[in-house]
C-alpha cells in the first residue's frame, strides 16, 4: 500500500527575503564581533616601520591583547570610558592605535616609553630614563624615501627589557636626532617608528603633523603577524606584471 504524502507549503516571497536578510545580518554581526573581540587586518601604507613592516604588508592586530576600548570596533566608536579586560602594553610591542589628533586615522608604531618614564634622542641615540639604549650595527642598506634610494645603516636595538628589533638610520644629526626630554604621563605611551629618520611619531608635535603622546585608551591592538604582502610600487608597471609584487616570503610571518 503506497504511503500518502502531504505537500509542504512553499515559503512566500516575503518570507524568503526575510530569511536572506536575517542571514546577512547574522553573518555581519559575527564578522563585527570577530573584528572587535579577536583581531582585525590593516594595510601598512608607509615605510615608517621598515625594516620590520614594509609598505603593502597586511598585518593582523590582536584586539584582545590590551582589552577593549573606545576604538576597538572596526567601525564607529564604542561609547565607553577606559578599557574592559584591560591588560597593559609592554615595551617593544608594535601597536595599532587611533591617532590622538584625528581618531579616524589608524597608525602603527613601536612602543618605546611607558607611563612615568622619560624618552630623549641625543646625537641620533635613544635614551630611556637617562640611559642610552644599546644598539649594534648590522650592515649597510639602501632604503626608498620618496622614490629615491637613500643609503642607511641597519642596527639591532636592544630595549631595557631585553627585547630586540631592527631599525634604520640615515644619519645621526637629523631633525629628530636631538630632542627635548619627553616625560610620558599617566595613561600615556610614547611610540616611535623603526625607520627612525622617516617617521612622524611621538617625537614630533601633533601640530607639526606628528603623533605626540598616545593615550592608552586609543590602543586598538598589538601586531602579531604579517598575513600577506604586495609591493604597491608595481602599479607603475603593466597590469600583467602585478603578481610579481607578491612577497611570498612574508606571508603568515610573525613580527617582533
Residue 141 lies in a domain: yes
CATH of the domain at 103: 2.10.109.10
CB of 109 within 8 A of CB of 50?
no
Whether 12 is catalytic: no
Whether 72 is catalytic: no
* CB atoms closer than 10 angstroms to residue 16: 11
Three-state DSSP class for 96? strand
- What residues make up the domain containing 192? 24-254
Residue 14 lies in a domain: no
CB of 151 within 8 A of CB of 140?
yes
Residue 166 lies in a domain: yes
The pLDDT assigned to 207 comes to 95
Closest CA to 69 of 44, 40, 37: 37
pLDDT means over runs of 10, the chain (256 residues)? 50 58 38 45 94 96 91 80 88 97 96 98 97 97 87 97 97 94 98 96 96 96 95 90 93 93
- Distances 219 to 83, 91, 94, 196, 214 between C-alpha atoms, Å: 10, 14, 11, 21, 8
Residue 10 lies in a domain: no
> CA torsion 22→78→44→25, rounded to 10°?
0
Residue 30 lies in a domain: yes
Check 48, 72, 199, 202 and give the catalytic one: 48
Residue 198 lies in a domain: yes
Q: Would you state the cell numbers that stand for residue 56, as one nine-digit string?
A: 603593502
CB of 46 within 8 A of CB of 193?
no
Count of domains for the chain? 1
Whether the pTM exceeds 0.85: the reply is no
Check 72, 109, 169, 229 and give the catalytic one: 109
Residue 104 lies in a domain: yes
How many CA atoms, within 13 angstroms, populate the side-chain half-sphere of residue 182?
31
Residue 1 lies in a domain: no
CB of 58 within 8 A of CB of 35?
no
The pLDDT assigned to 13 comes to 67
The pLDDT assigned to 44 comes to 95
Amino acid at each position: 500500500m503506497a504511503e500518502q504524502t502531504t505537500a509542504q507549503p512553499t515559503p512566500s516571497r516575503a518570507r524568503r527575503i526575510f530569511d536572506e536578510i536575517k542571514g546577512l545580518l547574522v553573518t555581519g554581526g559575527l564578522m563585527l564581533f570577530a573584528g572587535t573581540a579577536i583581531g582585525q587586518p590593516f594595510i601598512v601604507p608607509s615605510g615608517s616601520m621598515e625594516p620590520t613592516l614594509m609598505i603593502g604588508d597586511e598585518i593582523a592586530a590582536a584586539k584582545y591583547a590590551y582589552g577593549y576600548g573606545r576604538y576597538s570596533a572596526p567601525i564607529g566608536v564604542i561609547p565607553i570610558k577606559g578599557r574592559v579586560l584591560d591588560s597593559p602594553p609592554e615595551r617593544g610591542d608594535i601597536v595599532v592605535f587611533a591617532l590622538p589628533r584625528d581618531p579616524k586615522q589608524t597608525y602603527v608604531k613601536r612602543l618605546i616609553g611607558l607611563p612615568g618614564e622619560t624618552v630623549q634622542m641625543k646625537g641620533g641615540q635613544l635614551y630611556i630614563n637617562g640611559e642610552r639604549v644599546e644598539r649594534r650595527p648590522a650592515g649597510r642598506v639602501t632604503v626608498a624615501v620618496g622614490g629615491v634610494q637613500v643609503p642607511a645603516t641597519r642596527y639591532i636595538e636592544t630595549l631595557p627589557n631585553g627585547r630586540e628589533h631592527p631599525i634604520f638610520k640615515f644619519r645621526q644629526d637629523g631633525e629628530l636626532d636631538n630632542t627635548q626630554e619627553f616625560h610620558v604621563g599617566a595613561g600615556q605611551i610614547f611610540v616611535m617608528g623603526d625607520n627612525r629618520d622617516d617617521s612622524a611619531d611621538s617625537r614630533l608635535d601633533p601640530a607639526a603633523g606628528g603623533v605626540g603622546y598616545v593615550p592608552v585608551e586609543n590602543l586598538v591592538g598589538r601586531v602579531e603577524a604579517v598575513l600577506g604582502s604586495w609591493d604597491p610600487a608595481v602599479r607603475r608597471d603593466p597590469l600583467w606584471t602585478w603578481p610579481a609584487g607578491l612577497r611570498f616570503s612574508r606571508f603568515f610571518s610573525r613580527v617582533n
